[in-house]
Chain A
Amino acid sequence: MTALSAAAGADLEGRVLRGFRRRRLVALSVPVLLLLYLAYVFVAFDVMGLSQRARLDNAAILVRDSWSHKVHVTQDLRNAAVSVSIEGNRRSTYREGAWPGWVRPLPDGGTLVELPDGHAVTFAADGAIRFAIPDWGVLEARVVEGEVVTNLPDPPPSWANASPSRLAVTLPAGRLTVTAGRAEVFRYFPGWEMFFFHIDSPYHGRPAAEILWGGRIDPARPNLAGAWRDFWTNPIWRHADVAWAIWETVLMAFLGTVGAAAVALPLAFAAARGVNPLGPVRFLVRRVFDFVRGVDALIWTIALSRAFGPGPLTGTLAILVTDSGTFGKLFSEALENMDRKQVEGVASTGASPAMQWRWGVIPQVFPVLASQVLYLFESNVRSSTIIGAIVGGGIGLLLTQAIQTQGDWEKVTYYIVLIVVMVFALDAASGWLRARIIHGAPDRAARPRRPAA
């Protein structure tokens, strides 16, 4: 008896230890395999080469541009004319006499450009360019016979870069470049340039209090109406177009989702066991759903854009087609999972089949279906941004255009902020609606098996 159990105990011990060893081996091999895979991808993606291709200067431009702008003060060295413009754009040049306070004409005909922390650049009347740098001294540059001559020591300080053809000074307070043709000072300011009013608008640069409560700035119009009009038609930021694009994106998602639900609902009945007794039909409809879901949204988008051309219509239809497969599957599952007892209960009162549907089936499945529609709507608001970039509609189009010009990073930032706000707002609205519709039905149970993308 005791011998037997001792033998069994030894056997058991052996088995347990072997089991431990095996599990340890598996537990160790998984990370090792993952590491091997990552090493392979590291080579396949050429990550080493990436460090050479990466443009960190681009990243610096992007970051600085996304939260600040610069004002150029330019002197044409051939005729000594000075102009002040935002981002060096000729269309946003300050009018003569309306320069910002830190650019001042001097009595002798020169121009003084004040920079932060006591720095200042003078375009002197005698043609010299003097950069006063508080803890260094005064840097003087002249153009003599087509060459830039400076008083910089040799070698120059790390913040300056001098050659006979070009002088470049980069300091935190601002930048100065001098070439044979012109001298240019850049001063940086936080914020997006001309976000509210274009420089040509009379309201540009006025404090908000003055616009709201001050006297008429533009005698022809009341302040509020005029300011709103100039803001809305701002030619740089195009607020009206952006608002319309956001609306278009939401509309694509809304129409696509609701249309997909409308298409999928009758088909889901045909695909649900317990509703449709014809097995072959069920099988066929299910395979159609699988096919539609399997063909990617990308493929549908391309195929549909051939028929409907660029624009939001194609985006809407792409969402509609892709999601009708998803809805068909989800709806038919919901119909199959419904409780027969409620239908039988209604039938026991002598109700006709139509009334059994009305009072037995619909109250059960409606909250589930509605909440699935809302979940996919939330997810589609995000995808319609991407689809919009492909088919040319909505905020996705504006965004990709702004990114591809590679200079409008402040607009890119603005659009991203708008997209995030749009997604948050619609998530909140749809969450509120879902809670109201399925009041009573638990939220989790109604969730489709596809997580919000």
Chain B
Amino acid sequence: MAQTAVPPVEAYLALVRRRRLMGAILLALFVVALWSGFQTVNARSAGGFWSGLPQILDFPRNLVLEAWERRDRMPGHMARAVPALIETINIAAVATLAGALMGMGLALLSTRGLAPWPGGVALFRRVMDVLRAVPEIVIALILIFVLGGGPVPAMIAIALHTAGALGKLFSEVAEAADLRPVEGLASTGANWGQRMALAVMPQVAPNWLSYGLLRFEINIRASAILGFVGAGGIGYELRNAMTFGQGRFDVAAAIFLVLFLTIVVVDQLSDRLRRRLTHGAAA
């Protein structure tokens, strides 16, 4: 009682001061880390940040100027990019479908309460972690070595990554599912597959579909990038247009435009669909 003479207000203010000091030190360290990191990256690059900054608009300007100069050819270029675009979308769609199927399996196997072998839950989670951690480009390039170029390596690579990413999200949804229907079905003698299909799926389907659509958006972008490293589709066409001599900027501009429009349209469509799925049909 008699030993602590410090009034509570003083103690509180001292605490606040200490916390503020800690906050300021952390912030200063953070800024120093940012600055030195920026310096390192800048030094390691061929062009400097400050010398590149004024040129940042050169490329877009050239692109737009050249495209404008040959604007009569733009519709033709855009039409010629459509088959490659369809290939890119097909890669993304099949990869999303296959990945979602694998993800469903992995999710059910790694959700506590639903897994047929509870001992395997940790194992299947690690499998999903590894699938997520390996970037698509790694699997794609290795498969190109074995299978040759074309859309299939990209498709498999994206599907594997998707399986890991969706498996985790699916399993989070499935964890929240009501177990009573599962128990009800189990009491009638339903086997594991029937319990999952009839008791779990109806509960999780809207959320799973919504995540699947979101992944489809992401996969279109991924499949365009993989095309750029040699896996076919619109990314490959873009690379050809960019590296052809000085670069055929009008073709590149047409491909940019097609890709941009596709991404925006798919984003909008899937946004609307997802809203309907999660908030119920506007009935």
Q: Which residues of chain B in 94-109 are interfacial with respect to chain A, using CB atoms and an 8 Å cutoff?
A: 94, 97
Q: Which residues of chain A in 287-315 are interfacial with respect to chain B, using CB atoms and an 8 Å cutoff?
A: 290, 293-299, 302-304, 306-314
Taking a contact as CB atoms under 8 Å apart, the answer to whether B133 and A400 are in contact is no
Taking a contact as CB atoms under 8 Å apart, the answer to whether B45 and A44 are in contact is no
Would A299 and B260 be within 8 Å (CB), given that A251-B40, A308-B52 are in contact? yes
1/0 contact trace for A381-407 toward B, CB 8 Å?
011011001100100100110011010
Taking a contact as CB atoms under 8 Å apart, the answer to whether B133 and A255 are in contact is no
B: interface residue count bin: 35 or more
Taking a contact as CB atoms under 8 Å apart, the answer to whether B135 and A299 are in contact is no
Q: How far is the CB of B196 from chain A (nearest CB, A)?
A: 16
Does B85 have its Cβ within 8 Å of any Cβ on chain A? no
Does A79 have its Cβ within 8 Å of any Cβ on chain B? no
Does B24 have its Cβ within 8 Å of any Cβ on chain A? no
| Assembly CA distance A406 to B145 (angstroms) | 7
Taking a contact as CB atoms under 8 Å apart, the answer to whether A313 and B148 are in contact is no
1/0 contact trace for B26-59 toward A, CB 8 Å?
0000000010011011101111110011011011
Q: How far is the CB of B213 from chain A (nearest CB, A)?
A: 11
Taking a contact as CB atoms under 8 Å apart, the answer to whether A255 and B129 are in contact is no
Does B155 have its Cβ within 8 Å of any Cβ on chain A? yes
B-side contacts of A268, CB under 8 Å: none
Taking a contact as CB atoms under 8 Å apart, the answer to whether B133 and A313 are in contact is no
The number of A-B residue pairs with CB atoms under 8 Å apart is 187
| Assembly CA distance A451 to B218 (angstroms) | 9
| Assembly CA distance A400 to B142 (angstroms) | 10
Does A416 have its Cβ within 8 Å of any Cβ on chain B? yes
Taking a contact as CB atoms under 8 Å apart, the answer to whether B58 and A296 are in contact is no
Taking a contact as CB atoms under 8 Å apart, the answer to whether B214 and A451 are in contact is yes
Nearest CB in chain A to that of B36: its residue: A251
Would A251 and B41 be within 8 Å (CB), given that A294-B263, A382-B133 are in contact? yes
Would A54 and B150 be within 8 Å (CB), given that A294-B264, A311-B44, A313-B45 are in contact? no
| Assembly CA distance A62 to B144 (angstroms) | 12
A-side contacts of B37, CB under 8 Å: 251, 254-255
Q: Which residues of chain B in 192-230 are interfacial with respect to chain A, using CB atoms and an 8 Å cutoff?
A: 211, 214-215, 218, 221-222, 224-225, 228-229
Nearest CB in chain B to that of A412: its residue: B142
Would A53 and B147 be within 8 Å (CB), given that A251-B37, A312-B45 are in contact? yes
Nearest CB in chain B to that of A57: its residue: B146
Question: Which one of A97-105, A339-347, A417-425 contacts B?
Answer: A417-425
Taking a contact as CB atoms under 8 Å apart, the answer to whether B225 and A298 are in contact is yes
Nearest CB in chain A to that of B57: its residue: A307
B-side contacts of A309, CB under 8 Å: 45-47, 52
Select B34's contact among A258, A386, A389, A453, beta carbons within 8 Å.
A258
Taking a contact as CB atoms under 8 Å apart, the answer to whether A453 and B165 are in contact is yes
Taking a contact as CB atoms under 8 Å apart, the answer to whether B60 and A38 are in contact is no
Does A91 have its Cβ within 8 Å of any Cβ on chain B? no
Does B141 have its Cβ within 8 Å of any Cβ on chain A? yes
1/0 contact trace for A34-66 toward B, CB 8 Å?
100110010011110010011110110010000
B-side contacts of A296, CB under 8 Å: 221, 224-225, 259-260, 263
Taking a contact as CB atoms under 8 Å apart, the answer to whether B56 and A304 are in contact is yes
Does A452 have its Cβ within 8 Å of any Cβ on chain B? yes
Q: How far is the CB of B140 from chain A (nearest CB, A)?
A: 10
Does B277 have its Cβ within 8 Å of any Cβ on chain A? no
Taking a contact as CB atoms under 8 Å apart, the answer to whether B94 and A386 are in contact is no
Select A451's contact among B60, B169, B238, beta carbons within 8 Å.
B169
Does B240 have its Cβ within 8 Å of any Cβ on chain A? no
Would A382 and B45 be within 8 Å (CB), given that A50-B148, A50-B152, A55-B148 are in contact? no
Taking a contact as CB atoms under 8 Å apart, the answer to whether B142 and A313 are in contact is no
B-side contacts of A419, CB under 8 Å: 133-135, 138
Taking a contact as CB atoms under 8 Å apart, the answer to whether B145 and A62 are in contact is yes
Taking a contact as CB atoms under 8 Å apart, the answer to whether B58 and A307 are in contact is yes
A-side contacts of B46, CB under 8 Å: 308-311
A-side contacts of B90, CB under 8 Å: 41, 44-45
1/0 contact trace for A165-207 toward B, CB 8 Å?
0000000000000000000000000000000000000000000
Q: Which residues of chain B in 240-272 are interfacial with respect to chain A, using CB atoms and an 8 Å cutoff?
A: 242, 256, 259-260, 263-264, 267
| Assembly CA distance A251 to B38 (angstroms) | 8
What is the interface of chain B, defined by CB distance below 8 A to chain A? Answer: 34, 37-38, 40-42, 44-49, 52-53, 55-56, 58-60, 87, 90, 93-94, 97, 129-130, 132-138, 141-142, 145-148, 150-152, 155, 165-166, 168-169, 211, 214-215, 218, 221-222, 224-225, 228-229, 235, 238, 242, 256, 259-260, 263-264, 267
User: A389-B229, A423-B132 provided; 5 other pairs, C-beta below 8 A?
Assistant: A34-B97, A37-B93, A296-B263, A298-B228, A450-B214
9 nearest interchain CB pairs?
A311-B45, A309-B47, A309-B46, A313-B45, A306-B59, A308-B52, A423-B133, A53-B148, A307-B55
Q: Provide a sorted-by-A list of 14 A–B residue pairs whose CB atoms are within 8 angstroms.
A: A44-B87, A45-B152, A46-B150, A50-B150, A55-B146, A248-B41, A255-B34, A308-B56, A312-B45, A386-B135, A399-B138, A400-B141, A423-B132, A451-B169
What is the interface of chain A, defined by CB distance below 8 A to chain B? Answer: 34, 37-38, 41, 44-47, 50, 53-56, 58-59, 62, 248, 251-252, 254-255, 258, 290, 293-299, 302-304, 306-314, 316, 382-383, 385-386, 389-390, 393, 396, 399-400, 403-404, 406, 412, 416, 419-420, 423-424, 427, 449-453
